[in-house]
Each structure stands twice: as C-alpha cells, then as structure tokens.
C-alpha cells in the first residue's frame, strides 16, 4: 500500500498554528472539551523544550519504515498534565490533512475516513474510564489507521495482512465442506488449546501435520467448538484441497468498541469489505479469508450467554480456532470497568460481566481465540438465521 507521505512541516511548526490544530481535531469530530485539552497540551509542550524534542522524535518515527518502537513511549504520560495526557495524539493529528489527500487519491469516500478516525474518541474515552481523566495512549494502534492500513467499514474494521496462524484450511472437493487443520510444531493440552496458553493444563500432545504433493494428508482437525482434536485425522488423497495457508493474503478483522455487535450491522460490514478492497485497492492481492483474533471468540462465552446473544451469533459466523500463547488480558481489559478484574462482583453492571467474573473465580481463563471466514464473505458470514448454527 502506498502510505500517506509525512507532512512537510515539523511538529513544532504544527503546534505553533493552533487554528490548524483545532480545525484538524474538529474535523475528526472530537468533542469540544477534548479539543480544548489538546490545545492546552500543545501550549504546554511548546514551553517544554525537552518534551518538545521527544515529541519531534515520536512524530518522525511514525513516518520512517521500521523506526517505530512502541516501548520507547511506555513512560507517556509521565504525569496528569494535558501536555502528557494528549502527547501521543499530536503526531497523529499532524497527519490528518495528508491522510485526507491519500483517501481522495484512492477515491475513498471521506465518510469512511471519518468513521475510521472515530477510534480517536473511543480511546480518549477509554482512557477516561480507566484513569479518571481523558487522554490518549493508543498511538501504536492508531498509527495503523493514520497509515491507511486499518479502515472502518460500518460496524467493523479491516486491515490487509498475511495469515500468520499455524493453521491450514481445507475444502472437500465434492461436498465443499471446510476443515481446519493445525500445523505441526506445537503442543496442545486436553482442553484442545495450545500448551503455551494461559490456563492450559494436563499432558501435552505434540501436533503432527503431514503433507504429500503439496496437500495435507494427516493432521489434527480443529473441531466446531474451536478446539483442536487430540487424535490426528487422515485425509484421503485427492479428496481435499488447500484453501488457506500461513502467508496467504487475508483481511484482518478488528472490532471497535462503542456499539452493539449487531449481526445485521456485522453482515453489512462484511458486504462492504467484499467490494471495497477490489475497488479501492486493486494493487493488493485478493484476500483469501477474513480473520480475527479476539476475546469475543473465546469459546466459553457460548456457555455463559444465551444462544441468541450477539456475541454468540458473532462467534458462529466464523470457523473458530485457538491461538498460540493466548491469554485473558484482552478479556479483562475490555469486559470489566477500568480494564481490571474487580475484587467482588457487587459493582458489575451487566450480565456478561457478572458471569465472566464467576467464570474466572471458578478457575477458568477466558483466553482470546481466532476465527476466519472464507469468500464470498457476505454469503458465509452471518448468513444463518439459526444463531446456534455455524462453522
């Protein structure tokens, strides 16, 4: 993808033009109180040469391939001042005008960019929920939006990527049935998850995956509930063909907060993605799947929620699979107030929060998991009326 070029002026020049900063922030539909705090941040940093130099280094590293090091900014914010709380949003706002030009050159509607940049508000408010003050820390994630790699289409976000999971997808040549097979080189436990995952316990089975003539002939199938079978399956010669393998082009799916995970809205997002990328990114290889890794795909959620719950219906739109090294960190961050597990369930507001709390206290680890949808995406995903059905 041809990424937007960096703006010609330095970050200091940008901060010295408060009218431009204000217009860019307002164009992104940030709330008036957020814009006021960002203007205060700019003024504060202009009076601090040491932090202004740090800010220039941060802005420069955003535009240099391979230069970004998120670990270098883990100490930000250093205090509760506006300059520190909104330090990391300023290099992004500096790129708004260039990003708008890049979208226009791709003939992408401006409304799509506005929807994509709504993540700024989501994460400012997330910071308020977690710390008690509005602020912004997610530059490592939002730089993907400002580089044109993550784009929001309706309810969901999509990102061209390469399939990175140790997994093969096979399709039966006659029945068209789909089968997921785990790659070799990993161990699993009796729970059907990878042995390096949080909560994994019991004896470890080493996975085997045998190929012949470029096709999978024997391997461990991922079952319908997203867990890997302990015993390998033999695949008859010429009966199955490979549909997806590590390194193939895919669209990585991301799920922004702030709205219900409505199946109709999700289906519409898949429909948009199916035509959006061939139209606006014809220079990219066609995606062989839409893939997702998320706490929302943890199989245990289907046991905690009714079959018609949005999360359950979302899961059943995918062929699910475990991910290596899975943890419950994202589940805790996204499901509970302040992003931490509370000491008791008394203050929890939702049924999901209370059931998850009890689930964790019972010794379960609600680890993240993966899922994929094969083309045609708009027909495969969210196409069943029966919420209990699915891959």
- 389 in a domain, yes or no? no
Residues 17, 138 share a domain: yes
Residue 275 confidence class, pLDDT cut points 50, 70, 90: very high
Q: What is the CATH number of the domain that holds 289?
A: 3.40.630.120
Q: Of the candidates 114, 149, 184, which is a domain's last residue?
A: 149
pLDDT for 3 equals 63
The more confident residue out of 126 and 388 is 126
The tally of domains found in the chain comes to 3
pLDDT for 2 equals 59
* 48-79 pLDDT, tens digit each: 999 999 999 999 998 776 788 999 999 999 99
Q: Of the candidates 121, 149, 177, which is a domain's last residue?
A: 149
Residues 280, 358 share a domain: yes
* 109-118 pLDDT, tens digit each: 999 999 999 9
- 388 in a domain, yes or no? no
Residues 358, 307 share a domain: yes
Residue 389 confidence class, pLDDT cut points 50, 70, 90: very low
- 6 in a domain, yes or no? no
- 161 in a domain, yes or no? no
Q: What three-state secondary structure class fits 120?
A: helix
The more confident residue out of 5 and 23 is 23
pLDDT over 90 at 356, yes or no: yes
Residues 316, 289 share a domain: yes
pLDDT for 44 equals 98
Residues 84, 25 share a domain: yes
Percent of the chain scoring above 90 in pLDDT: 87
Mean pLDDT, all residues of the chain: 93
Helix (H) or strand (E) holding 303: helix 301-304
* 240-257 pLDDT, tens digit each: 999 999 999 999 999 999
How are the residues of the chain apportioned to helix, strand and coil, as percentages rounded to the nearest 5? 40, 15, 45
- 1 in a domain, yes or no? no
Domain of 310 in residue numbering reads as: 248-380
Residues 319, 233 share a domain: no
Helix (H) or strand (E) holding 370: strand 369-373
pTM across the whole model: 0.93
- 16 in a domain, yes or no? yes
Are 6 and 95 a contacting pair, CB within 8 Å?
yes
CA distance 143 to 146: 5
pLDDT for 64 equals 78
């Amino acid at each position: 993808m041809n990424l937007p070029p960096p703006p010609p002026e330095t970050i200091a020049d940008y901060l010295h033009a408060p009218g431009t900063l204000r217009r860019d922030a307002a164009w992104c539909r940030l709330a008036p109180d957020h814009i006021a705090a960002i203007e205060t941040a700019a003024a504060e940093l202009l009076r601090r040469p040491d932090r202004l130099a740090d800010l220039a280094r941060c802005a420069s590293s955003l535009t240099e391939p391979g230069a970004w090091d998120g670990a270098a900014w883990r100490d930000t914010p250093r205090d509760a001042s506006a300059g520190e709380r909104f330090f990391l949003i300023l290099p992004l706002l500096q790129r708004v005008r260039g990003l708008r030009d890049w979208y226009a050159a791709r003939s992408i509607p401006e409304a799509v960019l506005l929807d994509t940049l709504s993540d700024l508000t989501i994460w400012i408010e997330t910071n308020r929920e977690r710390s008690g003050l509005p602020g912004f820390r997610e530059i490592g994630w939002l730089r993907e939006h400002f580089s044109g790699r993550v784009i929001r289409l309706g309810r969901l976000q999509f990102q061209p990527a390469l399939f990175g999971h140790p997994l093969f997808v096979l399709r039966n040549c006659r029945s068209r049935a789909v089968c997921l097979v785990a790659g070799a080189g990993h161990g699993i436990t009796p729970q059907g998850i990878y042995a390096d995952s949080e909560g994994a316990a019991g004896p470890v089975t080493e996975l085997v995956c045998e190929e012949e003539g470029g096709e999978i002939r024997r391997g461990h199938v991922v079952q319908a509930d997203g867990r890997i079978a302990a015993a390998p399956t033999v695949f008859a010669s010429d009966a199955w063909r490979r549909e997806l393998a590590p390194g193939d082009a895919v669209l990585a799916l991301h799920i922004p907060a702030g709205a219900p995970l409505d199946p109709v809205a999700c289906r519409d997002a898949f429909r948009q993605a199916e035509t959006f990328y061939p139209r606006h990114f014809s220079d990219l290889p066609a995606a062989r799947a839409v893939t997702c890794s998320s706490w929302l795909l943890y199989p245990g959620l289907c046991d905690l929620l009714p079959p018609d719950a949005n999360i359950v219906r979302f899961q059943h739109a995918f062929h699910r699979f475990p991910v290596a090294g899975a943890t419950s960190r994202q589940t805790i961050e996204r499901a509970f107030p302040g992003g931490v597990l509370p000491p008791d369930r008394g203050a929890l507001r939702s049924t999901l929060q209370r059931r998850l709390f009890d689930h964790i206290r019972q010794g379960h680890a609600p680890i993240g998991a993966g899922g994929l949808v094969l083309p045609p995406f708009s027909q495969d995903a969210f196409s069943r009326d029966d919420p209990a059905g699915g891959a």
